Amino acid sequence: MDSQKITCIILLVLSTIAILACLVINFEPWIIYGVAIFGIPLLILSLGLLTMAKPEPEDAEERVKEPFTGY
Amino acid sequence: MNLMADILINVIIAFLAGSLLLGLHRKVMARVQKRPGPPIVQHLIHSLKFFFKETAFPKTVSKPFYIGIVFILALVWVVGVIVGPVAHDSLLILFGVYAVYKIVEHNSGSSSGSPYGKLSCVRAVLSAATELPLFAAIVFVYLKTGSMNIGNIIAYQSAHGPLVLSIPLAALMFFMLIITKSPYSPFAITKDKALISGFETEHFGFLRGFMLFSESVAWYVMLWVFLTIFFGPLNPVGYLIGMIVITFITGFINATTPILSPNHSVMTQITIGAICFFGTVVMIFTGVVA
């Protein structure tokens, strides 16, 4: 398993736990705002990096070779 | 209601409503141009579909920044939802949100390594002129109501009537911002089709889906703030009707107006902003408005 996948799983679990904790326990508002501001985007980012499809190994090099330079 | 539940519900509403309104915007533009156009739900479907699309990170990108900037884009609009619909807090924080959005446009383009992204990032600096009328509009709202707090502004309007009647030119300045931020706007110089997709060109697959999510939330927050600070206390039906009407108006304007060149775009925005600014000053000091 590559390091990006491991990092994403850890971030996904942490952000989910933080959001669920705020749903169950009544923390101070500033804590909830902090968790929401960082936790919601982090949850979506880590989930997306896990769900996105990866290029086939033989196509991988071609995909990252150069930036988009027009049609 | 639990505060986190309130925030989550508002973020989901902002995403769903924003996506559908942006879909409606494309539909209106298409109908004006005598095309059938995509279904209204297309923007929403695109946002979700991109989460499962093949994504690769080009060699030329600055990877932490390239991914991080998409995260920051979502972060600033979650702040927008919290400051606006959830907490009814200060307009100054929202002004800060727009300032950071400008930085996101700039850095998203520069982190990509694409010449189109870099040119768009330069234009993002020019288009900061958009934020000047917004700041002026906020100043007039403060002068009129004596507060920057959205909750206090709503209370003021319940007692004295909607601000759009007393400072209409300030409302027009804010509306200019809405036109600027709407898709295919004549002032959208950072996303000019000559630059492919501007600062978003190199963000494809999941990262584009994440950006579409943030843009949907941004559109909803912008319309919510405009309706709240100029049209007084509204119920959910009032917000819905207001948002649909504004989306229709911007759709008509954008469908019939070609994109301006960067210098014309900036000069037009500054000129309209200046006319509205001095017009409002004259209206206040000559007693045209109470």
CA triple B20-B26-B30, angle to 5 deg: 140
Would you state the pLDDT for residue B111? 78
B289: left (phi over 0), alpha (psi -120 to 50) or beta: beta
d(CA B187, CA B183): 10
Provide the terminal-to-terminal Cα distance of chain B, rounded to the nearest Å: 39
Comparing CB atoms, the residue among A26, A35, A41 nearest residue B74 is A41
Give residue A16's pLDDT band: very low, low, confident or very high (50, 70, 90).
very high
Would you state the pLDDT for residue B19? 95
Query: How many contacts (CB atoms, under 8 Å) link A and B?
Result: 106
| Nearest chain A Cα distance for residue B261, angstroms | 21
d(CA B32, CA B21): 16
In a domain, A64, yes or no: no
Burial B103-132 (b: 16+ CB within 10 A, else e): bbbbbbbbbbbbbbbbbbbebbeebebbbb
Please tell me the total count of domains within chain A. 1
In a domain, A2, yes or no: no
Measured over the CA atoms of residue B62, residue B64, residue B67 and residue B72, the dihedral's sign is: negative
CA triple B83-B87-B93, angle to 5 deg: 25
Domain that holds residue B121: 3-285
- Measured CA to CA in angstroms, residue B290 lies from B126, B145, B268 at distances of 36, 11, 29
Would you state the pLDDT for residue B255? 92
Would you state the pLDDT for residue B252? 94
In a domain, A45, yes or no: yes
Q: What is the pLDDT along chain B (290 residues), one digit of tens a residue?
A: 789 999 999 999 999 999 999 999 999 999 999 999 899 999 999 888 888 887 777 777 777 888 888 899 899 999 999 999 999 988 888 888 888 887 887 777 777 777 777 777 778 777 777 777 788 888 888 888 888 999 999 999 999 889 998 888 889 888 988 998 888 888 877 777 777 777 777 777 888 888 899 999 999 999 999 999 999 888 999 999 999 999 999 999 999 988 888 888 888 888 888 888 888 888 877 876 65
In a domain, A37, yes or no: yes
Q: CB B2 to CB A66 under 8 A?
A: no
Q: State yes or no: pLDDT of A69 exceeds 60.
A: no
Would you state the pLDDT for residue A54? 78
Which residue do the tokens 């952000």 mark? Answer: A15
Q: Which residues pair with B90 in a beta bridge?
A: B149
d(CA B68, CA B61): 12
B271, B174 contact by CB (below 8 A): no
Would you state the pLDDT for residue A24? 92
Nearest CA in chain A to B71: A41
Would you state the pLDDT for residue A71? 43
| Nearest chain B Cα distance for residue A9, angstroms | 16
Using the Cβ of B112 and the Cβ atoms of chain A, whether some distance falls under 8 Å is answered with: yes
Nearest CA in chain B to A18: B4
Would you state the pLDDT for residue B107? 79
Whether the pTM exceeds 0.80: the reply is: yes
B59: left (phi over 0), alpha (psi -120 to 50) or beta: alpha
Measured over the CA atoms of residue B23, residue B28, residue B29 and residue B33, the dihedral's sign is: positive
Comparing CB atoms, the residue among A26, A37, A49 nearest residue B78 is A37
Comparing CB atoms, the residue among B59, B79, B205 nearest residue A64 is B59
Give residue A68's pLDDT band: very low, low, confident or very high (50, 70, 90).
low
In a domain, A39, yes or no: yes
CA triple B52-B54-B58, angle to 5 deg: 135
Q: State yes or no: pLDDT of A1 exceeds 70.
A: no
Residue B115 token pair: 């010449």
Would you state the pLDDT for residue B24? 95
Predicted ipTM?
Answer: 0.85
In a domain, A61, yes or no: no
Please tell me the total count of domains within chain B. 1
- Measured CA to CA in angstroms, residue B104 lies from B54, B65, B125 at distances of 24, 10, 11
In a domain, B290, yes or no: no
- With beta carbons under 8 A apart, name residues in chain B contacting A46: none
Q: Which residue has the higher pLDDT, A42 or B107?
A: A42
In a domain, A41, yes or no: yes
Would you state the pLDDT for residue B59? 75
Q: CB A54 to CB B57 under 8 A?
A: no
Domain that holds residue A24: 9-51
In a domain, A71, yes or no: no
